[in-house]
Structure 1
Amino acid sequence: MCGRFEQSETPRYYADALSVHISEHLMRLGENSPSYNVAPGQRPWMIMPYKGELLFIGMTWGYRTPKEAAEKKKPCICARVEKSRMGSYFRHMFSEGRVIIPFGGWYEWTLENGKKQPWYITRKVNEPIFMAGLTNFRPSVEQSVDTGFVIVTEDSGAGMVDVHDRRPVALEPEDALAWMNPDTPVEEAAHIAQTRSIPTEQFVWWKVDRAVNRVGPNNNGKHLLVPVSESA
C-alpha cells in the first residue's frame, strides 16, 4: 500500500467534511486539478494546521533524507505505523509533522495471468477519507532540503488482505483533526493511528481498467473508477 489514490474533490469539500473553517488566503498553497490517479512524485493536497487554521498544500508525495537525495535514492512513500513513532527515520516527523491527506479511495494490485490487475478501494458510504500522513515540511520556515509527505500504513484486515496486506491508516474527521493537532501528545497520536482507523468492513473494492497502471494526462478521469467485469 498504496501506490496510487484518487483525490478529485475541492479543498472546500474536504474542509466541509472536517467541519472546519478555512480562510481564502490560507486555503491553497499551489494549484491542483482533480486527480483520479495520484502517483508518487506528484503534488496532491496535504492538510496541516497553522496558527489555528488549515493549510491545503500541494506537497510532493515521497520523502528522502538529504543523504538519500544526494545519492539519488528513490523516496519512501509510506511509513509503517508500528515503526514510525520510535524509528529514527520518521520520529522527528511523528513529533512535529503529522498531517492528513484527503482522498476518496486508493488502488492496489494483484497479479493475474502475469499482468498487474488494479483494484479500487473506497468507503461503502459516499464520504471522504483522511489518511494519516507525516511530513518534514514546516510552514513559514526556509528549508534547504527536499520536502514531502508519506502515508502512514497498517496491516490490512478481513478480505482486503487478498488484495494487499497493507492499507492506509484511514481516519474519520474527528480523529483526523486530533491526529494532526500539534497539541495532541505523541502517545495519544500513536494511539489514534493504531486503534482508530476506519474498519476494513466499511470498505468495498472492485477491479478497474488497467489504464490505471499508466500515469499521465490521458489516464486521469472518473472512468478509471468504473468496475470492470471478471471476464475483462
Structure 2
Amino acid sequence: MCGRFDQNDIARRYVAAFGWADAVYDSEARPTFNAAPGTYRPVLHMQDGQLHVDDLHWGYRAAWAAEKLPVCVNARLEKITNNYWGKLLKTGRAVVPANGWYEWTGEKGHRQPWHIHRKDGEPLFMLALANFGPFKEHKAESGFVLVTADAEGGMVDVHDRRPVVLNAADAATWLDPGLSREQAEMLARQMALGPEEFAWYRVGTDVNYAGHDGPHLIEPLPDEAIS
C-alpha cells in the first residue's frame, strides 16, 4: 500500500515535468514532504479538454457506502474494474505527482520508514481514481485513492505492494477521456514502471508522525547507501 508520500515541489513544476505547456490551476496546497491521508493534495486530471490541477481529499468512500465501508486511500489494480471502482475508472482517472513515497518495515513499535523514489530523480506520476465535485455528507465522497499493484518481488524487503507509476507520456494517456475502462486497466498493467526503476533508503522516524514536515524527513540515515 501507500500511506504517505513526498510531494515537495510546486504544482507548476510537476506540470512542466509532465510535458504540458500549461494547465488550469485550482490548487492552493503547499508542498509537503509528508502528505498524509485525510489531507488535500494537488492532483492532475482532464476537464473540458484541459489539464486541471485541483486540491482533492486523499481518501474516498462512495456516499451510499457510509455505513458499510471504510474510507479507502488505495485501490488495488486487480479490483479497479469491479462495481465499486469501475465508475471512477471510467470518469475519474487522475494522476498524483510526487517525488517519492514511504513504506515501513519491522514490528509494531519499532517501525522503520523508507523513502522510495525513481533512480533517475524524475517525479513520480502515480495513478489515481477520484470523484470530483462537491460532497454532501463527508469530504471523502469527493476524494481520491492511489492505484496500487504487487511489488513483483523487487521491493519485497520494503513492502509487497507499490503505487502504480507511469512515465509522463503514459500518464497523459491514462488521463485521456477517450480511453475505455478496459484500455485504462491494460495501460496500468502493462506500462507501470518496474521495481528496477526505483531506489530506496531508510529515513528517520520523524516521518512517522503526520504533523511533521521538512526536508530532513527525506534525508537518508547515516551510512545509508543511496542508489
User: Does the TM-score normalized on the shorter chain lie above 0.5?
Assistant: yes
What's 2:73 paired with?
Answer: 77
CA contact (8 A) 2:153 2:160 kept: no
Deviation track 1:124-150 (CA, whole Å, cap 9, x = no partner) reads: 112101001001115xxx653620000
Give structure 2 stretches of 5+ with no counterpart: none
1:147 aligns with 2:139: no
| AA matched with 2:19 | S
Q: Whole-Å Cα distance in 1 between the matches of residues 152 and 60 of structure 2?
A: 27
Q: How far did residue 19 of structure 1 move?
A: 1.4
Q: Whole-Å Cα distance in 1 between the matches of residues 121 and 218 of structure 2?
A: 14
Q: How does 1:129-144 map to 2 (within 5 A)?
A: 129-138=124-133, 144=136
Give structure 1 stretches of 5+ with no counterpart: none
CA contact (8 A) 2:105 2:113 kept: yes
Q: How does 1:104-143 map to 2 (within 5 A)?
A: 104-112=99-107, 114-138=109-133
What's 2:220 paired with?
Answer: 227
Report runs of 4+ in structure 1 exceeding 3 Å deviation: 71-74, 142-145
Q: Whole-Å Cα distance in 2 between the matches of residues 68 and 89 of structure 1?
A: 10
Deviation track 1:94-152 (CA, whole Å, cap 9, x = no partner) reads: 111111000010000001585111100001112101001001115xxx65362000000
| AA matched with 2:57 | T
| AA matched with 2:155 | M
What SS does structure 1 have at the residue aligned with 2:12? Answer: helix
What's 1:168 paired with?
Answer: 163
What's 1:9 paired with?
Answer: 9
Cα RMSD for the two superposed structures: 1.9
1:88 aligns with 2:76: no
Q: TM-score, normalised by structure 1?
A: 0.89
Q: Whole-Å Cα distance in 2 between the matches of residues 75 and 143 of structure 1?
A: 14
CA contact (8 A) 1:46 1:101 kept: yes
Deviation track 1:185-221 (CA, whole Å, cap 9, x = no partner) reads: 22221111011111110110011000111011xx111
Q: TM-score, normalised by structure 2?
A: 0.91
1:44 aligns with 2:41: yes
Deviation track 1:20-65 (CA, whole Å, cap 9, x = no partner) reads: 1324xx22x2411110000000111111011221111110000012
